[in-house]
Amino acid sequence: MILVKLGGSVITDKSQYQALHEEVLVRLCKEISDSGKDVVVVHGAGSFGHIVAHDNRLADGFKYESQINALATVSRDVRQLNLMVIDAMISAGISPVSLPPSACVVMRDKEIVEIDFDRIRSYLEMGISPVMFGDVALDELQGFSICSGDQIMEALARELVPERVIFVSDVDGIMDREPSEPGAKLVDCIGPSDLDNMSFHVRVKDVTGGIKKKLSAMMKMAGPDGACMIINGRVPGRLEAALRGDEVVGTKVELD
Ligand code: IPE
């Protein structure tokens, strides 16, 4: 089984509320299907989650009354995106089942403390692809919290020990400086010691911590053979190649 995260930045336009990149989503699902691999898919919230979550400080937990309606709105919006992902997967010939974190994840102080892994395994055994996504979730300490796709990836990688972990992004991988700066180069392989020596491209309105936090999380998921990678989903064929285990442009993330 291969664990795939479809980043919110590749399947949506993160700067525009509820803007789906439908043609990209449809193609990525076809690439998953064509690879013939069993997958667990986690997708980001993109502009279906980050904008309202950020404006209402949902990641900080329950602070004021109007957050409750914002939480309901985010939960509805990310489910709408999830339904579009599920539709695209089914059209591509994959059989997915959605497991919304708002219903099956418990957090404590912003960290996941409970996921129903047995349920995920049971679906996988039947040839069904479990799909989870960045969502709101109950938090035992702060009332509610934001459960990011990366946190779910970390928990699933630890528990399910996938053959490979692939993060599908809207960039080729990690660059050694701001991508717009002249001479910026793609880093083929990145390890824990590189984290402090590089400046990274920071995403717009990312309520879950930006690229450094994402990389630290990825370093916990990488196996000893470095089988955790970030690739560009905007370039046709890269996801399918990564799924098949072929050489592909991207950044491999080494174990912490
Ligand atoms: C964020 O999920 C969840 C919400 C804001 C509700 P992610 O952090 O996984 O989403 P992306 O991939 O950055 O869009």
d(CA 57, CA 67) in angstroms, rounded, equals 8
Q: Assess whether pLDDT exceeds 50 at residue 207.
A: no
Mutate which of 133, 148, 204 to test ligand 1's pocket (most atoms within 8 Å of Cβ)? 148
Neighbouring residues of 91: CB distance < 8 A, sequence distance ≥ 6:
26, 29
Task: CATH number of the domain at 86, please.
Answer: 3.40.1160.10
**Domains contained in the chain, number:** 1
Distance 183 CA to ligand 1 centre (A): 30
What is the per-residue DSSP string for 196-229? GG---PPPTT-TT-HHHHHHHHHHHH--TT--EE
* pLDDT tens by residue, 84-121: 999 999 999 999 999 999 999 999 999 999 999 999 99
The residue range of the domain holding 198 is 2-253
Map tokens 């010691």 to a residue: 193
C-beta of residue 1 within 8 angstroms of C-beta of residue 163: yes
Q: Which is the closest atom of ligand 1 to the Cα of 152?
A: 9
Q: Rounded to an integer, what distance in angstroms lies between the CA atom of residue 105 and that of residue 156?
A: 12
Most ligand 1 atoms within 8 A of CB, residue of 73, 75, 204, 208 to mutate: 208
Q: Using one digit for the tens of pLDDT, what is the confidence trace for 39-91?
A: 999 999 999 999 999 999 999 999 999 999 999 999 999 999 999 999 999 99
Q: What percent of the chain has pLDDT over 70?
A: 93
Tokens (6 digits) for 95: 């059989």
> Quick one: average pLDDT of 152-174?
93
| Res 204 pLDDT > 60 | no
CB atoms within 10 A of CB 77: 21
Give pLDDT tens digits for 212-221.
777 887 888 8
Encode 118-160 in three state secondary structure.
Answer: HHHHHHHHCCCEEEEECEEEEECCCEEEEECHHHHHHHHHHHH
Q: Is pLDDT above 50 for 6? A: yes
